[in-house]
Amino acid sequence: MASLKSSVVLNLVLVISLVHLSSAARKLAQTDNQLQFQYHKGPLLTGKISVNLIWYGKFKPSQRAIISDFITSLSSPNPTTPQPSVAAWWKATEKYYHLVNSNSKKSPKLALSLGPQILDDKYSLGKSLTTRQIVKLASKGGQKDAINVVLTAADVIVDGFCSSRCGTHGSSLGERINGKLHKFAYIWVGNSETQCPGQCAWPFHQPIYGPQNPPLVAPNNDVGLDGMVINVASLLAGTATNPFGNGYFQGPKEAPLEAASACTGVYGKGAYPGYAGNLLQDPTTSASYNANGVNGRKYLLPALIDPATSACSTLV
């Protein structure tokens, strides 16, 4: 299971990793294997996959639309969507598939689509959840060719939320379908707006530690949900490229840095700790963003590591 740590913690990890990387170049090759972003010979997620949203707790329809529009934007073929787009951001993951299948004429593809949405606004398992309960909620979604995304409301406490993670992804065995057990992938992300926005919704809120630059204006005018988009995006990239813990990652398997989490805090060129990078700005709202989506949406999405160069690649 891979967790998305708080921005502050991962920035520290990333800085430490980069320091080690620069010094490791002067050491024997066997000492830096764990520090390299590399492929560990396991399967990537392929085929037509439904992204099913499980909403746990109170969310307004307008809040749910922010996330569902983001998922739809990942594979939107609409040529009228301004660039840079969410679809262009997601297309960068294709590099992982090309490298894995470099000897094949045709590499398998991953096609995501928005699936059914499940509302649990009665808090069926209470307002304090364990990881096991998160998996139980995730199992309510489709269990074949699916990524089930559990989204918990601002008043829901989840084990490890804020203290060590903003979300997580993993996989679980589902029910038997035609006599065969299928694994389904799942993601959990919490709304940090009232619990820890400085950790899980930066740069739309001032961080708890580090440089106290003014927060950016959230593109959908919702600090909690715009922060959730960042974390959902990061975990989707990790789920696609490291679905079962033996795909692409850097560092120890128990706490891997994945496609997006290896670039934590980087959203545009020129980024450094405490500064998200050179971003686009909406002239009307002054909101900062780097990707356009369906229905006129704007989003801020994390950089993805280029598997060929191990460098963070940004849209802007």
Residue 178 pLDDT > 50: yes
What is the average pLDDT across 144-169?
96
**Taking the model in full, what pTM does it have?**
0.90
Please say if the pLDDT value at position 26 is more than 70: no
The strand pair at 128-129 and 157-158 is best described as: parallel
Q: Is the pLDDT of residue 124 over 80?
A: yes
The mean pLDDT value of the chain amounts to: 88
Strand 110-120 and strand 47-56: the pairing is: parallel
| pLDDT tens digits along 259-282 | 999 999 999 999 999 999 999 999
Residue 159 to residue 101: CA distance in whole angstroms: 38
Q: What pLDDT score does 175 carry?
A: 73
Mean pLDDT of 164-178: 87
| Gap between the terminal Cα atoms of the chain | 31
Distances in whole angstroms, Cα of residue 1 to Cα of each of 143, 258, 291, 306: 18, 12, 28, 22
Q: Tell me the percentage of the chain whose pLDDT exceeds 90.
A: 75
CA-angle at 176, arms to 171 and 181, nearest 5°: 50
To the nearest 10 degrees (0 to 180), the angle between helices 223-241 and 61-74 is 30
Structure confidence by residue, pLDDT tens digits, 296-307: 999 999 999 999
Instruction: State the Cα angle at 167 between 88 and 196, rounded to 5°.
Output: 110
pLDDT tens figures, 42-85 = 999 999 999 999 999 999 999 999 999 999 999 987 888 899 99
Mean pLDDT of 129-140: 97
So what's the pLDDT on residue 89?
97
**pLDDT reported for residue 35:** 62
Q: Sorting pLDDT into bands at 50, 70 and 90, what band is 310?
A: very high
The pLDDT value given to residue 16: 30
Percent of the chain whose predicted confidence (pLDDT) is above 70: 89
Output the CA–CA distances (angstroms, integers) from residue 58 to 54, 123, 152, 222, in the order listed: 12, 9, 8, 15
Over residues 197-218, the pLDDT tens digits come to: 999 999 999 998 888 889 999 9
Encoded amino acid at 222, one letter: D
Query: In this predicted model, which residue has the larger pLDDT, 182 or 172?
Result: 172
Distance between CA atoms of residues 21 and 78, nearest Å: 41
DSSP 43: P
What is the rounded distance in angstroms from the CA atom of residue 50 to the CA atom of residue 183? 14
